[in-house]
Chains A and B, each alone.
Chain A
Amino acid sequence: MSLRAHDVTAGHDGTPVFTGVNFTVEPGRVTGLTGPSGGGKTTLARVLAGLHRPSAGQVSLDGDPLPARPGGEIALLYQSPRQAVTPRWTLARIIGEPLRARPAGSRRSGPPDEIVLETARLVGLTPDLLDRRPHQVSDGQLQRACLARALVQRPRYLLCDEMTAMLDPATTASLTAVLTARARAGLGVLAVSHHRALLDAWADVRFLLDGGALTALP
Chain B
Amino acid sequence: MSAAEPVLTVEQLTVRIPTRAGTVHAVTEVDLRLDAGRVHALVGESGCGKSVTGAAICGLLPRDASVRGRALLHDGGTAPVDLVTAGPATWRRLRGRRIAWIPQSAATSFTPVRTLGAQLAETCAHLDADRTPAELLELAGLEPAAARLFPHELSGGMAQRAAVACALAGRPRLIVADEPTAALDPGRTAHILALLRAAADAGAAVLLISHDLDTLAEHTDHVAVMYASRILETGPTATVFADPWHPCTRDLLAATPAGGLHPIPGSPPALTDAAPDCVYHLRRPAPGFSGGPTHLTIHGDRTVRRLIGADR
Q: Which residues of A contact B (CB under 8 A)?
A: 36-38, 79, 124, 126, 136, 138-140, 165-174, 176-177, 194-198, 200-202
Task: Determine if B5 is an interface residue (Cβ-Cβ < 8 Å).
Answer: no
Contact-residue size bin, chain B (C-beta under 8 Å from the other chain):
20 to 34
Whether the Cβ atoms of A177 and B263 lie closer than 8 Å is yes
* Interface of B (DSSP majority class): loop
B263 x A197 contact (CB < 8 A): no
Contact B263 A173 (CB under 8 A): yes
Contacts of B157 in A (CB 8 A): 37
Add 5 more A-B contacts to A37-B157, A173-B254, A197-B256 (CB < 8 A).
A140-B45, A169-B255, A176-B261, A177-B261, A194-B186
When the two chains form their complex, are residues A197 and B252 in contact, meaning their CB atoms are under 8 A apart? no
How far apart are A67's CB and chain B's nearest CB, in angstroms?
33
What is the interface of chain B, defined by CB distance below 8 A to chain A? 21, 44-47, 155-157, 182-188, 211, 213-214, 251-252, 254-258, 260-264, 267-268
Q: Hey, which chain B residues are within 8 Å of A124, CB to CB?
A: 267
CA distance A139 to B211 in the complex (A): 12
Interface of A is mostly: helix
Q: How far is the CA of A166 from the CA of B182 in the complex (A)?
A: 6
Q: Are A173 and B255 in contact (CB under 8 A)?
A: yes
Residue with the greatest number of chain A CB neighbours at <10 A, chosen from B156, B185, B254: B185
Cβ-defined partner of B257 (8 Å) among A79, A166, A171, A200:
A200
Contact between B214 and A197 (Cβ–Cβ < 8 Å)? yes
Contact at B185–A168, with CB atoms within 8 Å? no
Chain B contacts for A177, CB-based, 8 A:
261, 263
Residues of B within 8 A of A173 (CB): 254-256, 261-264
Contacts of A201 in B (CB 8 A): 257-258, 260-261
Q: Find out whether the CB atom of B186 lies under 8 angstroms from the CB atom of A165.
A: no
Closest residue of chain A to B157, judged by CB? A37
